[in-house]
């Protein structure tokens, strides 16, 4: 299957509904109509409303979905995020899958906003990584944007990132500058980033023309400052590894351009949201 053909919402519905929602089909009258409201039960940043709406529409295109809080909005407990009108059966069939997407994506947006707020006035941009849930990368990266973060590369195909294992396969930096020069010639529109594990590597990389960004991996603030002092040719620096809400302000205060955080997408807790059915009528 071509990855571009993958539909995570259709896959989630097939996984959940299978041959049919036997509970709803047995207990809920076929033509019963209802109103449903998805309500926040804790403070959060909203994300994933379009995905949730699509879940309801895939189950039943006739379901009326009104989004009350757009992605990026701040909500508190009791706020209505989405309101639904339609067949009760349709709303119930779509409920869990829609909430799964919405709770997960709101969690990512909320955690991202916490990191963005934690750096205060420092200009560093908060980046996501490829540490995403299989099949959900586009949705999760959209949630990072909703939280005020910035997307790193989408995948292996849209940016060069030479990491430590690539360098290990090269068995050293001999000829690396020539490879970067050739790469820049062949793929002039791609950004080129290289990972440095220490200041010695950083010194070597800043002397190589064609590198756009140096990723400073697991470096302490003092080391990051030393690395930034080596800057030339408008090269950018990214800090990564071991970044938490407790230490991110110190990292940002070094003057680093970017801070990438895998936890945004792989460690965010699901936001507590619930769907309440009201105005049930024949």
Query: What is the per-residue pLDDT for 174?
Result: 76
- Residue 111's Cβ-count burial label (10 Å; 0-12, 13-18, 19+) is buried
Reported confidence tier of residue 281, pLDDT bands at 50, 70, 90: confident
Query: What is the per-residue pLDDT for 3?
Result: 57
- CA 219 → CA 135, 167, 198, 245, 253, distances in Å? 31, 18, 7, 16, 14
Residue 25 phi, psi dihedral angles, 5° rounding: -65, -25
Task: Tell me what the pLDDT averaged over the chain comes to.
Answer: 95
Shortest CA distance to 266 belongs to which of 167, 144, 157, 155?
144
Domain boundaries defined on the chain: 3-115+269-281, 118-266
Q: Interior CA angle at 98 toward 69 and 275, to 5°? A: 70
Q: What is the pLDDT of residues 69-128, one digit of tens each?
A: 999 999 999 999 999 999 999 999 999 999 999 999 999 999 999 999 999 999 999 999
Query: What is the per-residue pLDDT for 124?
Result: 98
Length of the chain: 282
Query: What is the per-residue pLDDT for 80?
Result: 98
Structure-block tokens of residue 270: 């699901």
Residue 168 phi, psi dihedral angles, 5° rounding: -65, -40
**Pick from 3-7, 23-27, 62-66, 195-199: least confident:** 3-7
Shortest CA distance to 67 belongs to which of 54, 79, 51, 49?
49
Query: What is the per-residue pLDDT for 13?
Result: 98
Shortest CA distance to 84 belongs to which of 98, 72, 103, 101?
98
Q: What is the pLDDT of residues 147-163, one digit of tens each?
A: 999 999 999 999 999 99
Average pLDDT over residues 232-254: 96
- Whole-angstrom distance, CA of residue 231 vs CA of residue 216: 13
- pLDDT beyond 90 at 172: no
CATH number corresponding to 118-266: 3.20.20.70
Rounded to two decimals, what is the model's pTM? 0.95
Q: Interior CA angle at 169 toward 166 and 171, to 5°? A: 115
- Whole-angstrom distance, CA of residue 61 vs CA of residue 42: 30
Q: How many Å separate Cα 129 from the centre of its chain?
A: 8
Q: Which of 167-171, 179-183, 226-230 reaches the highest mean pLDDT?
A: 226-230
Average pLDDT over residues 241-252: 97
- pLDDT beyond 80 at 5: no
Average pLDDT over residues 167-185: 86
Q: What is the pLDDT of residues 45-59, one digit of tens each?
A: 999 999 999 999 999
The set of catalytic residues is 96, 131, 163, 195, 217
Query: What is the per-residue pLDDT for 111?
Result: 98
Query: What is the per-residue pLDDT for 175?
Result: 85
Q: Which fold has domain 3-115+269-281?
A: Aldehyde Oxidoreductase; domain 3 (3.90.1170)
- pLDDT beyond 60 at 237: yes
Segments in 49-135 forming alpha helices (H)? 49-59, 88-118
Query: What is the per-residue pLDDT for 32?
Result: 95
Q: Percentage of the chain surpassing pLDDT 70?
A: 98
- Whole-angstrom distance, CA of residue 250 vs CA of residue 227: 15
């Amino acid at each position: 299957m071509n990855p571009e053909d993958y539909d995570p919402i259709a896959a989630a519905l097939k996984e959940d509904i299978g041959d049919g929602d036997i509970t709803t089909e047995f207990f809920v009258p076929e033509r019963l109509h209802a109103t449903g409201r998805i309500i926040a039960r804790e403070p959060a940043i909203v994300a994933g409303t379009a995905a949730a709406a699509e879940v309801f529409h895939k189950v039943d295109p006739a379901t009326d979905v009104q989004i009350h809080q757009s992605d990026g909005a701040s909500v508190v407990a009791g706020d209505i995020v989405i309101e639904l009108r339609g067949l009760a059966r349709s709303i119930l069939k779509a409920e869990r899958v829609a909430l799964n997407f919405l709770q997960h994506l709101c969690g990512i947006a909320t955690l991202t906003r916490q990191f963005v707020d934690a750096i205060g006035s420092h200009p560093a941009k908060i980046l996501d990584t490829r540490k995403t849930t299989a099949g959900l990368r586009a949705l999760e990266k959209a949630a990072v944007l909703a939280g005020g973060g910035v997307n790193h590369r989408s995948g292996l195909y849209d940016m060069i990132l030479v990491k430590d294992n690539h360098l290990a396969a090269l068995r050293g930096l001999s000829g690396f500058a020539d490879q970067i020069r050739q790469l820049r010639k062949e793929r002039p529109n791609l950004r080129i980033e290289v990972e440095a594990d220490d200041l010695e590597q950083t010194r070597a990389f800043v002397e190589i023309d064609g590198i756009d960004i140096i990723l400073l991996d697991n470096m302490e603030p003092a080391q990051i400052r030393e690395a930034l002092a080596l800057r030339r040719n408008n090269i950018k620096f990214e800090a990564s590894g071991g970044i938490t809400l407790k230490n991110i302000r110190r990292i940002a205060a070094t003057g680093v351009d970017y801070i990438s955080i895998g936890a945004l997408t792989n460690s965010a807790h699901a936001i507590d949201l619930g769907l309440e059915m009201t105005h049930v009528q024949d």
